[in-house]
Structure 1
Amino acid sequence: MTTQLNRRGFIRLAGLGGVVFASGLSGWASAANNAGNAASDFFFVQMSDSHWGFEGAPNPDARVTLPKAVAAVNALEQVPDFIVFTGDLTHTTDDPQERRKRLSEFKQIVEKLNVKQVYFMPGEHDAGLDQGAAYQEYFGKTHYTFDHKGVHFIVLDNVSDPGASIGDEQLSWLAADLDKLAPDARIVVFAHRPLFDLYPQWDWATRDGAKAIALLMPHTNVTVFYGHIHQENHHMTGHIAHHSAKSLIFALPAPGSQPKRAPLPWDSTQPYRGLGFRAIAAVQKNSAPTLTEFPVSKG
């Protein structure tokens, strides 16, 4: 079921071992007030990069990490309004039958989440080898929109194209969707890869992401959440804040911090270090959404 998040409830949420970060986005509260307080307080959870089917180093607990993450989300005192997975649900495989097996197993695990609605999007590991064909059999469209309590959510697909592009057709779809919105509409965008050039040498970019950002730029209240880089990162393109999420399987190094994009070693003294999920709270009294980072517990 869903629940409204009040100030006291969010303080309890943030006290469950999370690290709180206030987004750089401004204007959420004023936009809600200008709409006659049509949007009530709420929060949702972002989970990303579970790579179900991955085996071996650096995560010796690969078969149990996702179920533990599901249990951690279910243990939150406040029930999220919804949960979104920002891609790489499964680990890549050349075998179409194995790809579908992994998608099916992932779906069975996350069906245990205690929440009314879960939204999905593919990562390149899910969709890059077959342009999202198998993914769509289990989870439907790879790009879409939905609305929740006065906020417009846009899910972009920048992975089904093996060339890491959104594509002209989807960009036209995005432009048409944005044309229907007021300049100060509250907008949240989900993508798997970063829309900006974070570190193209490691495939941490979207070839035509700048075109998507240009379409979003006239709107004053936009935040982007993405995955792919297996770590927390915060970046601004003009007034648009971009926030990457931690992975649920293994951590990756900071952009350009080492010669190769190799997973960080497993630390047996601190298992699950660098792994986690986040809660995003839209509280009317705040001028920005508040992000709370939660670890995956070894328990």
Structure 2
Amino acid sequence: MNRRTILKSAALLPFVNPSIEPATSAPMARKRSIRFAYVGDTHITPEAKPMESVAKCFHHVQNQKDKPAFVLHGGDVIMDALKQDRDAVQKQWDAWHTVVKADNSLPIEYCIGNHDVWGYEQAKTDPMYGKKWAVDLMKIGNRYRSFDRNGWHFIILDSVQLTPSNTWYTGSIDPEQMEWLRGDLAKTNPKTPVLILSHIPIFSPTGFFSEQNIKDEKWTIPAALVLSNTPELLKLFYQHPNIKAALSGHMHLLDRVDYNGVTYFCNGAVCGNWWKADTYQQTKAGYALFDLYDDGSVERTYLHYS
């Protein structure tokens, strides 16, 4: 083949821009790491309706065709321990464990809610006063902790701090826990996606639902609704791009906020309007299914069990 033939053949080829890299194979599709069910604000009592409804919710979770691997409980397991005596609190926990034993076969990971804390004033000298009782009955070992599951790192926070009078609570992450959180995040592989759970929301618009929070033409959002040290947490989260999601309950409302690479999910309530009605504000009683993927993405599906 002479030079003229070579040039003629080259002219018939499509033009290739040398500045464009050759096409490569398509990126690999993401894979689901794990599916779990968020079940929160069950507020169980020994009465028939709460017990039957919580049982129905558990059955709905377990009857999913694509069954979750475990349950993440977002807190407020029982109706209230803040202002109840020992006997009343014990009956609520007994009701919960009766339903769990009879109607649930999935592992449960718990987060402490404000109503799970025993704040009965006359019980201050009782060794179970405060969070000890809830920690023992939830079998969680400590009020805050972390664990790894299928390539994801889970951090469970204690967002409930009793006020000095011990008769009420405020939402925050206390200094001891904050120091632990910084250390836990620092030692986690930066390529490992992280999910954080707190009962009280870290970042949520749900505090704006009530006209009562408007005072003197200004929004006043109590720290009992959103954590008082949210700004500190947001700065910390920004330093760790592998934090992908932060879940909460407490508000009995459903929302989603995407901010600085973190998706904040508030996840309704199993009890709806504290068992008075199926719907609170515009959120119907339910639970959420979460799908976590190996690329750090998160999908939530909110389901009504009734």
TM-score scaled by length of structure 1: 0.72
SS in 1 for 2:42: coil
Cα drift, residue 79 of structure 1: 2.4
Equivalent of 1:288, from 257, 278, 297? Answer: 297
Asked if the contact 2:193–2:296 (Cα under 8 Å) also holds between the matched residues in 1, the reply is no
Cα drift, residue 204 of structure 1: 1.5
Aligned pairs for 1:138-287 (under 5 A) are: 138-139=137-138, 140=140, 141-161=142-162, 162-196=169-203, 198=205, 199=207, 200-201=221-222, 203-221=224-242, 222-251=244-273, 266=277, 274-284=284-294
Asked if the contact 2:172–2:223 (Cα under 8 Å) also holds between the matched residues in 1, the reply is no
Asked if the contact 1:183–1:218 (Cα under 8 Å) also holds between the matched residues in 2, the reply is no
Asked if the contact 2:272–2:286 (Cα under 8 Å) also holds between the matched residues in 1, the reply is no
In structure 2, relative to structure 1, the CA distance for the partners of 1:128 and 1:227 (3 Å cut) is: farther
What stretches of structure 1 of length at least 5 have no aligned partner? 1-29, 252-262
SS in 1 for 2:178: helix
**Over residues 232-284 of structure 1, what are the superposed CA-to-partner deviations in whole Å (9 max), with x where a residue is unaligned?**
11113322110011111124xxxxxxxxxxx797379xxxx701111111244
**Over residues 17-65 of structure 1, what are the superposed CA-to-partner deviations in whole Å (9 max), with x where a residue is unaligned?**
xxxxxxxxxxxxx9x99xxx9x86321110000001287xxxx933421
2:71 paired with 1:89: no
CA distance in 2, matches of 1:287, 1:183: 12
CA distance in 1, matches of 2:249, 2:278: 22
In structure 2, what is the equivalent of residue 134 of structure 1? Answer: 133
Asked if the contact 1:86–1:226 (Cα under 8 Å) also holds between the matched residues in 2, the reply is yes
Instruction: Give 1:154's aligned amino acid.
Output: I
Equivalent of 1:47, from 21, 39, 59? Answer: 39
Q: Report which structure shows greater RCO (CA 8 Å, sep ≥6).
A: 1
CA distance in 1, matches of 2:59, 2:46: 20
Equivalent of 1:101, from 77, 87, 91? Answer: 91
Larger Rg: 2
Asked if the contact 1:132–1:160 (Cα under 8 Å) also holds between the matched residues in 2, the reply is no
In structure 2, relative to structure 1, the CA distance for the partners of 1:106 and 1:160 (3 Å cut) is: farther
In structure 1, what is the equivalent of residue 55 of structure 2? Answer: 67
Instruction: Give 1:152's aligned amino acid.
Output: H
In structure 2, relative to structure 1, the CA distance for the partners of 1:214 and 1:281 (3 Å cut) is: same
Asked if the contact 2:200–2:248 (Cα under 8 Å) also holds between the matched residues in 1, the reply is yes
What stretches of structure 2 of length at least 5 have no aligned partner? 1-26, 120-128, 163-168, 208-220
CA distance in 1, matches of 2:93, 2:255: 27
CA distance in 1, matches of 2:33, 2:74: 22
* Runs of 4+ that moved beyond 6 A: none
Cα drift, residue 121 of structure 1: 1.3
Cα drift, residue 292 of structure 1: 1.1
Cα drift, residue 100 of structure 1: 2.6
Instruction: Give 1:41's aligned amino acid.
Output: S
Identity, in percent, stands at 20
In structure 2, what is the equivalent of residue 125 of structure 1? Answer: 115
CA distance in 1, matches of 2:231, 2:70: 29
TM-score scaled by length of structure 2: 0.71
SS in 2 for 1:41: strand
Asked if the contact 2:118–2:133 (Cα under 8 Å) also holds between the matched residues in 1, the reply is no
In structure 2, relative to structure 1, the CA distance for the partners of 1:149 and 1:197 (3 Å cut) is: closer
CA distance in 2, matches of 1:202, 1:169: 19
